[in-house]
Every structure is written in C-alpha cells, then in structure tokens.
Structure 1
Amino acid sequence: ICSSLTQKGAETSLQALSAGAVEIITKPTTGLKNFLLESAAELVAAIRAAANSNVRNLGKRSASPVPVAPAGKLTADAILPAATGHAMAQTTERIVAIGTSTGGTQALEAVLKALPRVCPGIVIVQHMPEKFTASFAERLNSICAIEVREARNNDRILPGLALIAPGGKHLIVTRSGAYYHAQVIDGPQVNRHRPSVDVLFRSVAKFAGKNATGIIMTGMGDDGARGLKEMLDAGAATVAQDEASCVVFGMPKEAIKLNAAQRIMPLEHIHQAILNG
C-alpha cells in the first residue's frame, strides 16, 4: 500500500495487511517528486518483498529469500553503544523482546493471542509507519488476554503487558534498580528503519542480559540479526522463526547465518519460548 489515504485509514490499512498486503508506505499529499526520490529504495524493497512473499497462504509456507538492504545504512551504534559485558543480575524479572517486519502483523497476532494473562513483559518492534502502531496495538489488545498498547516514555515493563514501539520512534529498554522501563526516543533510521529491531535488541542485551529472551520473526532485510547475536552473547535465550512459517524469510535467515539463534521454531510454538524462556 502506497497512499496518502492510509494516514487517515489506519484500521483499513491493517485490514489490508491481514488480507495479504505486505507493506504500508505513507505518501505525502504534497512533494511527491521528492518523496519518490527519497523513498526509491524502500519502494523497491517493498515490491521485491511482495513478489517473493507467500500472500496466498500467509504464515503457512516459505517465501523466497529477499536481498538485504545495501551497504551504507546506519547501525545501532548511531543510537547507543554496545554492551561491554553481561548485565548485572539485579533482578530475576524476565522480559521478552520481539522484532518483526513483513508478515509480522499476523504473526504477532498469532503469538500474542496464544499467551495467558500471566506471562513475562514483552517489548516489540514491528516495522510500521507512524500513526499505525497505535491502531495495531488497540486491535491486538481487543483480542488478546494480555494487555497490548503502544509504548510510552518511561513505561514500566510488567508481566502480562506487551508494549509496541511507536512508528517513527526507536524503542529501547533501560533499567532502574530491579525494574525495566521502556524509553521512546528520536534518532536516525537504523538499517533504514525507525523503529529498529537492532536498537531494541541491543538495549535489551545491555540492560537485561540473561534475564531476557529475544525473538526474531518474519520480515525482509537483516534488521535485528546483529542485535539478536548481541543478546545471545550477553546471555539471553534467542529464537528465530523457521522458514516454513515465515511470509518472508529475511530477518530470521540473517540471524541464523550469524549463529544468533539458539532455537529455530515454527510460528505456532513461539509462544512457548515466551512462557518458558
């Protein structure tokens, strides 16, 4: 979907994603020429994802590999430094970080709906434009046992709560004493995305370490692959969605290539990794 109408029709756009659309790109009402010049790479990547994704039976079969974004993109170093060692074990409270992109709206729905009300706190990056994540969170909240909402600055990450990064902002996790908090921040795009999965995963590696589980799911490109490896190196449990259940086997594939995933799991089993670590 590439339309200025989608800015006012977030719910309609989410329905289109459920029906098989693979990407939402918001088009301005003015300055179309500049938009096309600035968004050429994003448009090409989205078209390639649509061509290679399995929209006939989303989440059931594999998709052909999608090329990762070209060199020259910023890494998570542009937002925060990497962890220099394992996080101090000042808390036993476990958190889960999830990153996903193309096909992720349906994948997240399947995972979160399977969770009971009592489960670890969850932080999520779903690649989605500004104005859409709030509607997406509201829809998930209406069908899930857990609470789901768009993250706000200084939100405490609590059991039974899933926080989704706002479109156009980065989401990071920090810790104050024994408590984890969400921080919603500005900054440049990382891996051509804002929010970026790599940014979230790096912050979790730095502040939660072995008290975290990282999960990378369906999506094109490689955002999150390096961050998942950083989480693994910091002592976290890590999971990648398997090829057979991905709409686009891009992000999980790149994480697997980096040996960042301890386990490779089908979509229908990922909720167990959230519950059991």
Structure 2
Amino acid sequence: MKKKVRVIVIDDSALMRNLLAEIINEAPDLECIASAPDPLIGREKIRELNPDVITLDIEMPKMDGLEFLERLMRLKPTPVIMISSLTEQGSEAALRALELGAVDIIAKPKLDIVRGIQGYADDIREKIRCAAGAKVKPMFSSNVTPNNSADVVLPKVSRPILKTEKLIIVGASTGGTEALKEFLMPMPPDAPAILIAQHMPEMFTKSFANRLNSLCSVTVKEAEHGERVLPGHAYIAPGHSHLLLGVSGANYVCHLSQGETVNRHRPSVDVLFRSVANLAGKNAIGVILTGMGKDGAAGMLEMKQAGAYNYAQDEASCVVFGMPKEAIALGGVHEVLPLKEISGRVLAYLTRHGGRNVRI
C-alpha cells in the first residue's frame, strides 16, 4: 500500500485546524498527523513526527508565521503551504513567504470560512500532494472543474497573423514566483514585451507584479484589458482572468477573458500560448517554468508548430517538474535548460534572429 502524505497543520484558529484536518483526512492518500495553535508547539510536533508537508498560517501568537518559516527553511527544510487572507497586506506577506521557500499559497476566505474552505477542498488536497513531491532548499537570509482545453476560450487558427515585433511568452505555476524573478531580472530595459501566465490566487498578482517591478529593469505590471503591449514591459495575467494576445490595428494588445477554466486554471498557460500561436507565430519565444500539472504543454506545441522557439526549465532546477516535463514529452520544446541559463539563451536567440537591439 502506498505511503500516505503526512501533514501537520499550524493555525491559531481551532476552526481552521479542524476544517483542514477534515479536508486532509477525507483523501485516502493524505493524513493530518497533528495540528498546533502556534509555531512553538508546531516546532515540537515537527521534531517529533517529521511530516512530509506543513500548512502554516501567517498571523499567529508567540511567533509570526514568516519568522517561523525562515527558521524552518534554514534548519529543517520542509515543504510548506501558506494559509493567507486575501488582503493587500496579507498578499505581501504571502509573497514574502514564497521568497522564503514556501511551495504554494492557499487563500483563506475572509467571510463564511467553513463554506469557503470546503469549496477549496480539492485544490487544497492537490496542493498538498504537489508539495509532498516538491524540492525545497535551505534558505539563507476551489471547486473541482473540468480539464478543458484552450478550445473553450479560444479557437485555434490554421495560419498565424504575422507581424515583425518579437514577443517573449512565459508560463509557470508552483515555484514560479521565484523562478520568474530569476528569469526577469536579467532582462534589459529594451527587451521585447513579455507576457506571463502564472497560476496565482486573485489579488496576489498585483502585489507580485509590483514587487517584481521594484527589482527588474523592465516595467512589470498586472495586465489590463485592451492595453497596448510594449517593449520593455512584462505583463502578468490577473489571478481572475485568462491573458490572451490580441491585436488592435497595427498593435499587439492584452486581452483578458473570464471564460471557462482550462486545465482547472484561470489564468491558463495553454490559453495564452494558443493566442500567441494564432497571432505571433515565429516571432514568439516560449518559456515554460516550474509547475504542477500539464497546463501549457499543448499550447507550447501549438506555438512550436506555428514557428516559435521554445525553452523549458530542467528538472534539477524546478520545484515541481510537472509542466515542463509534459511540454517536453509532447514535443513542444526546443531546448531544456537550468533556470539560471534561460534568460541569457533567450536574449542570445533574439540577437541572432532579428530581435530588437537587445544587449546581453
């Protein structure tokens, strides 16, 4: 019999501890082996029981969840899923948690907690399974939805509408917040426009974009419907909408859609990649980074068939080698590289193939 994934829940709310334990124990392959009302008690239970995954609240008595996470990742790296409210302050804290090494975020509902958390039950269980297989490194200071294809949002066209402007298109999921930072920071201010679909809860994406903007030479922002796609800018899909490449006259524009979920996601990487295959063809460079599942694999193959050149992050540097693995297996990838090498290779490719005056 396959070994169960053993989980410890750390949350100061007794209600949340009980709800999460019930959700975890309903799955035959998961087991909540303990819970704790604060990090100090949680620390003892972790030492005693050595769990596979920890769920961790942010605001707790005796020790802040972020402080505890930082200590944990320094002394005993363990896959952690953060629980956070969807407030602007909370989202900043959640993004800091991802920087410190948390695998993923679960958005704690502000109202009707019982119904809200139960509505996330399948997503919570899937994130725990994913976290159990994630590679964590020491740090040094929703409801079930069908696995639709991109067809439900955007039809595939047989011939791309080709322009001359180059574009960089990126998809990521679990572990992607740090991977995107590493990918974007080397990009020069005259880089081609970059469109990004990152699986992330609504309201986190704006704070995430703002944080990246403070670190990068390119301007990073949350995409807005109808805005022109400009060189030197990176556009991140909002957590509530698909991001598609569109055209208005002679210009590329961002198009947002709240159409059906694809591969259980909105935004979906497949939808973004399909729209780019339809409109940009050989003028696009595709990048697929760390993430759980298969979202982006079919769309990356469509981009390749339309003439795009595609890169995938290698297994050794991924937190979860799911999305890149599926894209590679489907035949949509030209090169598989360590994360730290992808930006340089993309820029080198653009220099060789008539991109803008990108300096390496």
Which residue is 1:62 aligned to?
none
Q: Deviations over 1:200-228 (max 9, x none)?
A: 00000001111111110000011101110
CA-based RMSD of the aligned residues comes to 1.8
Q: Deviations over 1:44-97 (max 9, x none)?
A: 111012111112258xxxxxxxxxxx9942111110101222x133x2110011
Normalising by structure 2, we get a TM-score of: 0.70
* Aligned mate of 2:132, from 51, 70, 76: 51
Q: Secondary structure at the match of 1:24?
A: strand
1:255 aligns with 2:255: no
Which residue is 2:116 aligned to?
35
Q: Deviations over 1:161-205 (max 9, x none)?
A: 000001111100012343211111211211111111001000000
Q: Are the equivalent residues in 2 in contact too, given 1:122–1:161 (CA < 8 A)?
A: yes
Q: Are the equivalent residues in 2 in contact too, given 1:121–1:160 (CA < 8 A)?
A: yes
Cα distance in structure 2, aligned partners of 1:77 and 1:181? 21
Q: Secondary structure at the match of 1:260?
A: coil
1:88 aligns with 2:168: no
Which residue is 1:182 aligned to?
254
Amino acid at match of 1:81: P
Deviation, structure 1 residue 40: 2.3
1:130 aligns with 2:202: yes
Which residue is 2:87 aligned to?
7
Cα distance in structure 1, aligned partners of 2:290 and 2:185? 17
Amino acid at match of 1:167: G
Amino acid at match of 1:26: A
Cα distance in structure 2, aligned partners of 1:217 and 1:188? 23
Cα distance in structure 2, aligned partners of 1:265 and 1:83? 30
* Aligned mate of 2:342, from 263, 270, 273: 270
CA pair 50-93 structure 1, distance change in 2 beyond 3 A: same
Q: Are the equivalent residues in 2 in contact too, given 1:166–1:195 (CA < 8 A)?
A: yes
Cα distance in structure 1, aligned partners of 2:328 and 2:84? 37
Higher relative contact order (CA 8 A, sep 6+): 1
Normalising by structure 1, we get a TM-score of: 0.90
How many percent identity over aligned positions? 50
Unaligned runs of 5+ in 2: 1-80, 351-360
Cα distance in structure 1, aligned partners of 2:252 and 2:146? 33
Cα distance in structure 2, aligned partners of 1:134 and 1:33? 27
Unaligned runs of 5+ in 1: 59-69
* Aligned mate of 2:267, from 187, 195, 220: 195
Q: Are the equivalent residues in 2 in contact too, given 1:119–1:274 (CA < 8 A)?
A: no
Cα distance in structure 2, aligned partners of 1:221 and 1:35? 24
Cα distance in structure 2, aligned partners of 1:71 and 1:263? 32
1:99 aligns with 2:171: yes
1:218 aligns with 2:290: yes
* Aligned mate of 1:167, from 214, 234, 239: 239
